[in-house]
Amino acid sequence: MRVAVAGCCHGELDKIYETLALAERRGPGPIDLLLCCGDFQAVRNEADLRCMAVPPKYRHMQTFYRYYSGEKKAPVLTIFIGGNHEASNHLQELPYGGWVAPNIYYLGLAGIIKYRGVRIGGISGIFKSHDYRKGHFECPPYNSATIRSIYHVRNIEVYKLKQLKQPMDIFLSHDWPRSIYHYGNKKQLLKAKSFFRQEVENNTLGSPAASELLEHLKPTYWFSAHLHVKFAALMQHQVIEIDHDSSAPDYLEYDIEWLTILRATNNLINVTGRLWNMPEDNGLHARWDYSATEEAMNEVLEKLNHDLKVPCNFSVTAACYDPSKPQTQMQLVHRINPQTTEFCTKLGITDINVSLQKAKEEHQLCGEYEEQDEGDSNDSGEDPSEYNTDTSALSSVNPDEIMLDEEEEEEDSFVSAHSDTNATSVEPSSDQASDFSASFSDVRILPGSMLVSFDDTSGSLVGREGKLGEPVELGDGKDLTEVPLKRLSDEHEPEQRKKIKRRNQAIYAAVDDDAAA
């Protein structure tokens, strides 16, 4: 099975599918599946654009709406996760995953599905420790805080994924697993992106939660995006050959182990902004192991009448953008998606959005942080979570970053890479460093297929057949591995560093530049 992998899509579906068509013409056969690692931007209309965490001047409709409206249909089955630049109100309708358009499937906050016997998992969003232990309390209309916190990874999703025991073939995340840079051409990475150096040296680049998942799941392939740089464990576009079960059906299937874990952990759903920890074997919880037993999986199979096929039940839930009739004042509505309703009813679990709406009816503020001290907000009575260290302030300034808080500055103001390197940064105390090293495992064990420790090699990348040094080509004759892309790094809190604005952000420009496909 030929699988194409894309990094940050930024709504450019037309260009992506055109590139795949070119790869098919030049390759050994058709592409069976497209995987996208976030920043998909499933924008349906002007209201969705307002829910995307970028400054207004970067909010462009792009081409997804044509697939949502039915004007076009994705030529290849597409599976994606969310990143940190999304139409968050749209994706929030599908917390457990679902179709955002015909033949385009979202994995949800976290999810596992199967296609032709290949097990594919993913987790949406990026890691931020100050939101990690909160519930999913955000809903539209978002404020200046929740428009960002909505896409921050939560401990409940990581906890569910760490209940998995069966082997994983492919896993997707938006931000990199922390420490992954130790397993590729680190020297070349730092040459290309010198502003990563401090984070690499401090071992703070990437997501510690993703590192925990990488160590636990050990998938055959792990794909990430977010940093907009080619690396041995990451490519912006590639086509690889994946072994699959030729007798498996040619449609998406639910994963029975994952469904069983969702059902078992249903009572752990939290829709408040209070901090909390997941159950542990520490004497404070009656249950802490939610892994799927054979008996529990059989019960779920019976409940689903042994039918694991993902239904093709896409439905339009919001008005689609009409270029001839712009609606800049379109109202934001917190919607219940019929796909999620059907899924939750079948499985006997709670729709997070229904819980949020009930909370609103009970006069609890939606989209507001609950003001309380972190030390007093631990509902479980446990010690503070192991995920309590935010190393954002350690990060050096990235000159290619789009800041989410616009300021009244000169339009062409920028900070050069040279001034970046010399920027003042906050150094951690020895206590913080000690806490952090004890908190997150420094991942040093990777599946054999992912071991690529070659600090001094030329940095050749996986090509179209999964072999080194065979890049896919673009229509203009350039290799896909040569396409220059800019990085959108983790958004650091405004008070922690100087805000920067960049004028030349090609990834959000409306210019039709084929070389940026």
Secondary-structure percent of the chain, ordered helix, strand, coil, rounded to 5:
30, 10, 60
What's the pTM value of the predicted model, to 2 decimals? 0.73
d(CA 345, CA 340): 8
Q: Pick 404 or 108 by higher pLDDT.
A: 108
Q: What are the backbone dihedrals phi and psi of residue 120, each rounded to the nearest 5 degrees, phi first? A: -125, 125
Q: Pick 70 or 484 by higher pLDDT.
A: 70
Longest dimension (CA), the chain: 64
Strand order in 237-241's β-sheet? 98-101, 104-106, 78-80, 33-36, 2-6, 237-241
Residue 6: strand, helix, or coil: strand
- What is the average pLDDT across 179-193? 69
Q: Pick 472 or 323 by higher pLDDT.
A: 323
What confidence category does residue 163 fall into, taking pLDDT thresholds of 50, 70 and 90?
Answer: very high
Strands 78-80, 2-6: pairing is unpaired
Give me 41's structure tokens. 């931007």
Q: What is the pLDDT of residue 430?
A: 38
What confidence category does residue 198 fall into, taking pLDDT thresholds of 50, 70 and 90?
Answer: confident
Q: Give residue-wise pLDDT tens across range 270-320.
A: 999 999 999 998 888 889 999 999 999 999 999 999 999 999 999 999 999
User: Contact 184/231 with Cβ under 8 angstroms?
Assistant: yes
Residue 176, pLDDT above cutoff 60: yes
User: Contact 209/127 with Cβ under 8 angstroms?
Assistant: yes
State the average pLDDT for the chain.
75
Q: What are the backbone dihedrals phi and psi of residue 319, each rounded to the nearest 5 degrees, phi first? A: -60, 140
Residue with tokens 């190393």: 391
Give me 490's structure tokens. 């983790």
User: Contact 173/81 with Cβ under 8 angstroms?
Assistant: yes
- What is the average pLDDT across 6-30? 91
